[in-house]
Structure formats: C-alpha cells, structure tokens
Amino acid sequence: MSRLHTFTYLFILLLFLGAMPFALSAQEEQEPDGDFQERPEEKEPPAEGYPEEEQFLEAYDLGSQIFTIDAGFFIPLFFHFPAASDNEDVSTFEPAFGQLSLGGSGSLSWGSYLTPRFAIGVELAGSFSFTPNGYVNSLIPITMFTEYLFRYGSFEFPVSLQGGFVINRVQDQLYMGPIAIPGISGYYNLNAEWGLGLSLDYWWVPEIYFDKSENSSFGNFLELSFSARYHFS
C-alpha cells in the first residue's frame, strides 16, 4: 500500500509541476504583476436561456484595408470577331491559344471595405504572351474593382469585378481601350493579417474600331494566379 501511495503522490506532483508553467503564463496574461485578482462571480444564465446561434464579430468593417499581390499564368482563350461576316480572313471565333503562348501575369491591388463584406479598390496588372514569331503581346490593365466577400471559417472567397482601361501592345501596334475582369479567389487566412490562396480571373478585352469595324474584336483570356493578401486598418 505504501508503494501505491508513493506512486500516487509522485503522479500528483508531476501533474502539478507540469501544469505550473501554463498556470503562471495564464496568470501573467490575466493578472497585473503583484496584484491578486478576485475570482469573478459566476453569472446566472439568462431566464430565456442562451441563444442557439452564437453571434460573432465581423473581421472587417469600414476602414479595413487589403493589399494583394498576384503572380501566375496567363492563358489565351479565343478572339471574338462580331463582324466576321465582313472579313473573309477571320471566323467569328478564332482560337487564341494557338496564336499566343501560355504567358505570365502579375498584379498589385489595394482595396478598402465599405461594409464587412463589400470592398472597392484599384489594381495595376500586367500580362505577357508570345505570338507565333516570338513577338510579345502585353496587356497592362489599370482598373477599379468591387468585391463581395464570402467567409467560411478561416477561408475567404472574394468575388470581384474589375473595370478600367488597358494598354494593349504588340510589335508597333498600340491600343488603349476598356477592359472588364470578373474573378473569384480563395484564401486561407494564416492569421489575422495574412491570407494565401489562388485567383481565377477572366479578362475580357474589347478592341473596337469605328473606321474598320470588320477588324473589331474581343480578346478573351484566363488568369490563374497565386495570391497573397494582407489585411490592415
């Protein structure tokens, strides 16, 4: 029996010693140095009972800001020629992937929340891909965006729409025109500030000519990028 008692005392002592650091640490966080804090009184549960759904504070609100950096792949899809019937050289839909290589893209954006789920901001992006003879086709959009945020635990899924103008260039040709970019992203928030994820954006690039409308076209591209997002206030 005495051996059993000895083992029991040792076990309790080990438990106590093992718990000490956590207890001290908790005290450091909760108590002012050198002061003794009385145990708070336990509150009685409300008469109507606790609510079935817990209420959480939203992570962002008016004034919350985001800074995002993207880098990834630029995938040419197709060119749409609405007046192809007036141009014997082209079909209504011409494949772009055979005429442009898999390219690269990148962007920097800043945004601010107006509500816990709705943000607006500006973005500067750029992409490049190569024509069959190695010429570079570059697109540099300067856009404003609106974004609606869906959240699920530590995951965030912003759905965005960008609009602005784009500088489109190949060889000695330069075109500045409008651009629209709908997109969706998925982020895993590592902590309150940083989130990492993937973005999928669809670039719709009108190239309108009034004097040679048969050559007017709409470029369609897909951007798949790795994305890092920083939250701050």
Partner 1 sequence: MSILKYKTQLRRALTGIVTLALLSLLSIGCNQDGVGIFYSISQEKEQITSKISEVSVYQVVDAGSYTYALGGRTVWQQSGNNWNNLGGGYAYNIVADSGTSTLYAYFNNDDTSLTDGRIKSYTGSAWSPADSFSDDGKLIDIGNDTFALVVRGSTDPTLYITNDLTTPPAVTDAGNVVDTVSIVGGTNLGSTTHYLISDSTVYSWDSSSPNTLADLSLSNPEKTGNFAAITSNGIDTLYLVTTSGQVFSSDGTSLVYITTVGGSVEAEYGAASVVDISGPKLMIGTDDGYYLMELNGTIIESPDDYAASYPELAAALVHQVYQKTATDDIYLATENGLWKRTATGEFERQ
Binding site for partner 1 (CB under 8 A): 62-63, 79, 81, 87, 89-90, 94, 96, 99-100, 112, 114, 120, 122, 131-133, 135, 137, 142-144, 163-165, 168-179, 205-212, 215-219
Residue closer to partner 1, measured from CB, 130 or 198: 130
Instruction: Tell the smallest beta-carbon distance from residue 117 to partner 1 (Å).
Output: 15
Instruction: Tell the smallest beta-carbon distance from residue 70 to partner 1 (Å).
Output: 20
Q: Measured between alpha carbons, how far is 156 from 177 in angstroms, rounded to an integer? A: 32
Residue closer to partner 1, measured from CB, 106 or 112: 112
Q: Measured between alpha carbons, how far is 59 from 152 in angstroms, rounded to an integer? A: 12
Triad 58, 60, 61: Cα angle to 5°: 100
One-letter amino acid for residue 51 of the chain? P
Q: Measured between alpha carbons, how far is 113 from 190 in angstroms, rounded to an integer? A: 20
3-class secondary structure, 120: strand
Instruction: Tell the smallest beta-carbon distance from residue 85 to partner 1 (Å).
Output: 15
Instruction: Tell the smallest beta-carbon distance from residue 88 to partner 1 (Å).
Output: 10
Residue closer to partner 1, measured from CB, 90 or 224: 90
Instruction: Tell the smallest beta-carbon distance from residue 173 to partner 1 (Å).
Output: 4
Computed on alpha carbons and rounded to an integer, the radius of gyration of the chain in Å comes to: 29
Residue closer to partner 1, measured from CB, 108 or 174: 174
Instruction: Tell the smallest beta-carbon distance from residue 193 to partner 1 (Å).
Output: 21
Q: Measured between alpha carbons, how far is 67 from 189 in angstroms, rounded to an integer? A: 14
Residue closer to partner 1, measured from CB, 21 or 132: 132
Residue closer to partner 1, measured from CB, 83 or 198: 83
Triad 200, 202, 110: Cα angle to 5°: 65
Q: Which residues of 183-201 are buried (b: 16+ CB within 10 A; e: fewer)?
A: bebbbebeeeeebebebeb
